[in-house]
Structure 1
Amino acid sequence: MVSERGLEVLRVIVQDYVASREPVGSKTIVERHSFGVSAATIRNDMAQLEEEELIAAPHTSSGRVPTDKGYRVFVDQLTEVRPLSAAQRTAIEAFLGQAVDLDDVLSRTTRLLSQLTNQVALAQYPSFGMARVRHIEVVALGPARLMTVLITDTGRVDQRLLELSGLGDVVLGEELLGELRGKLNAELGGKSLAEAGQLLRAFAGSFAPVHSAIVEAVAACLSEQVAANRQDRLVMSGAANLARTEGDFSGSIYPVLEAIEEQVILIRLFSEMEIDADGVSVSIGRENQGFGADAGQLSETSVLASGYSASGGSVARLGVLGPTRMDYSNNMAAVRAVARYLTRLLGEESA
């Protein structure tokens, strides 16, 4: 059983190690912190912490570093998630408020979060499996070129160019385009993406045979857009931050970069992480194992996540990934604050 002073010793070990990346010894603790006891007493506390597997000696020196279990106790019992400063909140609002659509919002969000935390920032697109079609637009860009636009109730805008030159004699009259727009929105508007995909398979049958080739091409293009928007995916920024902390990993950082690029493990991890009362969830070191065949790639990292809501009631996660030696207090505060502002911003856009 660790005493209250022992927990305070753990706190300063974590804080000092995060700040310096140097193992922390009893003499250093006595010199830097006002415990009012001797170095011998602090050594006894550290021995108890080591017995509880909360700290460990990385080599034969007298210094100790936190273990995954030690970081977990620090996060659960010793960390207070402080609000960001007024200046930081103003900067978040100013930067994200300039976004023009959902893609831009999430791109700006990850760039901002990466700058605030000096970690890799990740944002999950809202669950498009629950998204519904808000509007479809078909725009003529030339005699044999169209642009199809799919807009969902989650704020996603997907545009594709469609070349029709290979379909023979193509006549893109305004009457046909008007009929296309009208029927697409009448049949697909308000439908889920799964329902829209099914309806598009038979969509060409409602047009005259002379137009079937054009209509089938438009339906096929929209089907690809629907399928793409139903896939879970992440936006990432700040991978260079991993290179700056490469010394925190016992081996190469390439397996971590591969896991980030593949996304599957992180999406599974995000879906399993339960947000706590502070609005943040933290998965530390070996806790990241079990989410895929190569989940060991993340065994020396910590993932901090929070949830945000988009229009239509869909919920997604955003967060940061970095080495287990990170500033948990500030990073948790940044993730929570950005998630809350993102929820408010997307709610305002859908109103």
Structure 2
Amino acid sequence: MSDDRRLDVLRAIVQDYVRTSEPVGSKALLERHELGVSAATVRNDMALLEDEGLITAPHTSAGRVPTDAGYRLFVDRLSSVKPLTRAERTAIQRFLDGAVDLDDVVARTTRLLSSLTHQVAVMQYPSLSRSTVRHVELVPVGGGRLMIVLIVNTGRVEQRVVDVGRDLADAEDLVADLRSRVNAEVAGLALTAAPTRMAAVVDAVDPLDRPVAESVAAALGEALQEETEERVVLSGTANLARVGSDFPTSLSLVLDALEEHVVLLRLMGGLTAGDGEHVAVSIGAENAYVPLQTTSVVTSRYGVAGGLGVVGPTRMDYPQAMASVRAVARYVAEILDG
């Protein structure tokens, strides 16, 4: 059997099984695909594919289904990821462009990915550890209270209100000077490096004003410290219930695993390499976390700040999922980097 014909038969089996969820026989292959060979040749090719561990018989019927190894070969031999149509790309852009803030971007992205792929969509919030400071705003809010607003390059905003121990009603110049000094030191700096640079701000102000500067430095440090824990958002878990036959004994385990955000973050971190042009696919037993070994995970990175992707059964429309994940990652990166 030639490699090209073997791949043609395997590709046809994968496509039919993904579409119908029914084991695929040689007769169906000949009816649905122009393979250009006889029924006997297709049966022989299927037997050889089974010997190679690429397809298997789920029961005593004549039909065969792909194995994890079969899906892997199918994905690896995709000549390219088929781009979405112009209409699909326009719809994605319009939907995401309507977002009003970072939370809305994340919520819209997961809903969109779930809708496009009919899988569970997962998105990691932009990682502060890989982000930079865009701007720090200081706003007196009455008495001795000062609001400190940290704006990150990804659009993420954190704020704290602190009591600086003195009335700021007549301290506009002090607040303006601190704002200027803080941004001069930390704007454009990696968030992980910002706290140490605040020491220079404290040292540079008049000794009488240092308690205020120390309060600002402490609040910024707390904001960064509290946000070191990464966050993920899910959408479309109900899609798994619609394909419950793909998880005859493991659906509850998969759902439990999806609730463990630490697991998802590790999974995303391990798979999201490169940028929005690169799509990573982990199939079945390739997933290190046992409860997810009946699933496949398709992910990509948006910019350098985080990852997004979909989780679903191994009987997944891989070309569609990969194209959708790649396209959405591109648009999210444009929005957050813009």
TM range (shorter): 0.7 to 0.9
Matches within 5 A, 1:25-44: 25-44=25-44
**C-alpha separation between the residues in 1 aligned to 2:189 and 2:110?**
30
Matches within 5 A, 1:239-250: 239-250=237-248
**Aligned residue type for 2:285:** R
The partner residue of 2:325 within 335, 344, 349 is 335
**C-alpha separation between the residues in 1 aligned to 2:146 and 2:277?**
48
Confirm whether residue 266 of structure 1 aligns to residue 256 of structure 2. Answer: no
- 8 Å CA contact 1:149–1:160 kept in 2: the answer is yes
> Partner of 2:131 in structure 1?
131
**C-alpha separation between the residues in 2 aligned to 1:13 and 1:79?**
18
Distance 1:338 1:216, change over 3 A: same
- 8 Å CA contact 1:114–1:237 kept in 2: the answer is yes
- TM-score normalised per structure 2: 0.85
> Partner of 2:169 in structure 1?
173
**Aligned residue type for 1:319:** G
Name the stretch that deviates more: 177-186 or 67-76.
Answer: 177-186
> Partner of 1:299 in structure 2?
293
SS in structure 2 opposite 1:24? coil
- 8 Å CA contact 2:275–2:302 kept in 1: the answer is no
**C-alpha separation between the residues in 2 aligned to 1:142 and 1:276?**
45
CA shift, 1:337, in A, is: 1.5
**Aligned residue type for 1:85:** T
CA shift, 1:211, in A, is: 7.8
Residues 171-198 of structure 1, C-alpha deviation per residue, up to 9 Å, x if partnerless?
2425154354344334433433222233
SS in structure 1 opposite 2:140? strand
**C-alpha separation between the residues in 2 aligned to 1:84 and 1:216?**
52
> Partner of 2:101 in structure 1?
101
Confirm whether residue 86 of structure 1 aligns to residue 86 of structure 2. Answer: yes
Distance 1:81 1:210, change over 3 A: closer
CA shift, 1:136, in A, is: 1.0
Confirm whether residue 7 of structure 1 aligns to residue 23 of structure 2. Answer: no
CA shift, 1:329, in A, is: 1.0
**C-alpha separation between the residues in 2 aligned to 1:123 and 1:255?**
20
Distance 1:114 1:147, change over 3 A: farther
**C-alpha separation between the residues in 2 aligned to 1:242 and 1:140?**
49
**C-alpha separation between the residues in 2 aligned to 1:179 and 1:246?**
61
- TM-score normalised per structure 1: 0.82
**C-alpha separation between the residues in 2 aligned to 1:269 and 1:65?**
27
> Partner of 1:158 in structure 2?
157
- 8 Å CA contact 2:114–2:120 kept in 1: the answer is yes
**C-alpha separation between the residues in 2 aligned to 1:278 and 1:139?**
41
Name the stretch that deviates more: 116-125 or 196-205.
Answer: 196-205
Distance 1:345 1:193, change over 3 A: closer
- 8 Å CA contact 1:133–1:151 kept in 2: the answer is yes
The alignment yields a C-alpha RMSD, in angstroms, of: 3.1
Residues 189-210 of structure 1, C-alpha deviation per residue, up to 9 Å, x if partnerless?
3433222233557976757568
Q: Which runs of 5+ in 1 are unaligned?
A: 290-294
SS in structure 2 opposite 1:59? coil
CA shift, 1:98, in A, is: 1.8
Distance 1:4 1:191, change over 3 A: closer
SS in structure 2 opposite 1:283? strand
Q: Which runs of 5+ in 2 are unaligned?
A: none
Confirm whether residue 235 of structure 1 aligns to residue 197 of structure 2. Answer: no
Confirm whether residue 197 of structure 1 aligns to residue 195 of structure 2. Answer: yes
> Partner of 2:74 in structure 1?
74
> Partner of 2:336 in structure 1?
346
**Aligned residue type for 2:239:** N
